Amino acid sequence: MTDLDPLAKALLQHLRRRHLRLATAESCTGGLIAAALTEIAGSSDVVERGFVVYSNEAKTDLLAVPATLIAKHGAVSEEVARAMAEGAIAKSRAEIAVAVTGIAGPGGATPTKPVGLVHLAVARRGGGTVHERQVFPGSRRDVRLATVLRAFAMVTETAGQVPDDDAP
């Protein structure tokens, strides 16, 4: 598996410079995003909390994702990813939240939702929510790792829209 430490350190520094805290809402990654970040000593000033919401019930109970939304669009959908990110903002003190939901495989695919399909969303407190649909190739491990990497990039991009307090 790719060493995530350098990327996690860079993301933490990026968020720290902007005085932003992060919450994670993870389904298909089962907490890998939060684990990669908290592997770095001192990450507690940035990582506010993490939600592992593998089941539909957890998405509803912990993040207030409406069960009707899951029933209508499925757990692996743009709508649910957005609701997860927005729920993580609402249920935390973080300024940014990242959410991921997908089909890591090898089973669970449907004709319209292939193995490797992941919906990622990043929400900003008082701001908007961005979404991406990705289909990552490879094994279950490959899909989960690619999801973590893309989540890091999306958080970095979103945080970059917040003025840097250290800028001249």
Question: What's the pLDDT tens digit per position in 6-27?
Answer: 999 999 999 999 999 999 999 9
Whole-model pTM? 0.94
Superfamily name with CATH number, domain 5-159:
CinA-like (3.90.950.20)
DSSP H helices, 78-136, are 78-90
Domain-wise residue ranges, the chain: 5-159
Which among 103, 8, 90, 5 is positioned nearest to 49, based on CA atoms? Answer: 90
- Closest listed residue to residue 43, CA positions, set 87, 74, 12, 78: 12
Strands of the sheet with 129-135, listed across from one edge: 47-52, 22-26, 96-102, 117-124, 129-135
pLDDT at 165: 52
Contacts of 135 (CB under 8 A, 6+ apart): 114, 116, 117, 118
Where does the pLDDT of residue 162 fall: very low under 50, low under 70, confident under 90, or very high at 90 and above?
Answer: low
pLDDT tens-digit map of 34-92: 999 999 999 999 999 999 999 999 999 999 999 999 999 999 999 999 999 999 999 99
Hey, CA dihedral for 87, 62, 154, 72, is it positive or negative?
Answer: negative
